[in-house]
């Protein structure tokens, strides 16, 4: 991945992001409007697009819809001011690949850009939810096959108990679940809400999943999973 387009309305920020990306080896070009972005995309392939949603009154939905209609495989990373979780979900459903809230570090932006680069290489179609698969960000949980896969890292090796735990948590992403709820819904003989065995499996999952998924401990309550 090399050619990047930075679509940002604030000139100072646009220049700063573009210069920083160039310093990290990217051929980054900064532009100020969505119209200019459309022109650039029609002139040749772009490896990734960094887009400020404040440029569009509709939150960028029309632009993302247009991009999708072009059968474009260009990954889109949204970089914008703080928005609600509903805003984030809306643009991701419209076709964006990732979402960053300002202020953010260039290091984080580069990591996100590299993470979404998987779209430049043809991948097998990922099943839609309701057909045995649960999709959260770059993760796919295949309930029928009992497999967890990441778009760039591939299959994650999990034991039966670890899969049951991550499955329960992902199905209620963002919701705090008690150990009792997890033990009951996990329906795994290795789970016990009394001997803290779930804590052990949480520790193992954290090590295996690494960046991209955070399992937070809510003291005195239980656990909540967050897909970054």
Helices (H) and strands (E) in the chain, counts: 8, 12
For domain 133-227, give its CATH number from 2.102.10.10, 1.10.10.10, 1.20.1250.20, 2.120.10.80. 1.10.10.10
Task: Note the pLDDT of residue 11.
Answer: 92
- Which regions in the chain score pLDDT beneath 70? 1, 56-60, 71, 82-87, 117-132, 186-195
Strand order in the sheet with 222-227: 177-178, 222-227, 213-218
Task: Note the pLDDT of residue 71.
Answer: 63
Task: Note the pLDDT of residue 30.
Answer: 94
Note the residue count of the chain: 228
Q: Residue 45 is encoded by which pair of tokens?
A: 């392939």
Top CATH class of 3-120 equals: alpha beta
Which residue ranges make up each domain of the chain?
Answer: 3-120, 133-227
3 and 31 in contact (C-beta within 8 Å)? no
Task: Note the pLDDT of residue 134.
Answer: 83
Q: What angle do CA 45, 49, 52 make, to 5 degrees?
A: 150
Give me the half-sphere count of Cα atoms (radius 13 Å) on the Cβ side of residue 181.
13
Instruction: Give pLDDT tens digits for 97-107.
Output: 788 888 888 88
pTM confidence score? 0.51
β 154-156/139-142 pair status: unpaired
Instruction: Give pLDDT tens digits for 178-217.
Output: 888 888 876 554 565 555 778 888 998 999 998 778 999 9
């Amino acid at each position: 991945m090399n050619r990047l387009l930075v679509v940002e309305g604030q000139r100072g920020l646009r220049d700063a992001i573009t210069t920083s990306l160039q310093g990290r080896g990217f051929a980054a070009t900064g532009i100020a409007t969505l119209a200019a972005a459309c022109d650039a995309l029609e002139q040749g392939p772009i490896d990734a697009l960094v887009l400020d949603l404040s440029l569009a009154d509709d939150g960028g939905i029309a632009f993302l819809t247009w991009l999708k209609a072009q059968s474009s495989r260009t990954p889109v990373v949204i970089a914008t001011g703080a928005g609600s979780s509903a805003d984030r979900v809306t643009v991701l459903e419209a076709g964006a690949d990732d979402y960053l809230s300002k202020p953010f570090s260039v290091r984080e932006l580069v990591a996100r850009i590299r993470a979404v680069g998987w779209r430049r290489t043809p991948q097998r179609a990922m099943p839609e939810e309701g057909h045995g698969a649960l999709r959260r960000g770059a993760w796919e949980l295949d309930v029928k096959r009992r497999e967890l896969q990441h778009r760039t890292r591939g299959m994650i090796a999990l034991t039966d108990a670890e899969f049951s735990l991550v499955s329960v948590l992902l199905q209620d992403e963002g919701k705090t679940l008690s150990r009792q709820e997890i033990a009951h819904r996990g329906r795994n003989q290795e789970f016990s809400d009394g001997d803290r065995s779930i804590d052990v499996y949480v520790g193992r999952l954290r090590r295996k999943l690494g960046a991209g998924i955070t399992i937070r401990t809510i003291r005195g309550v239980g656990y909540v999973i967050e897909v970054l």
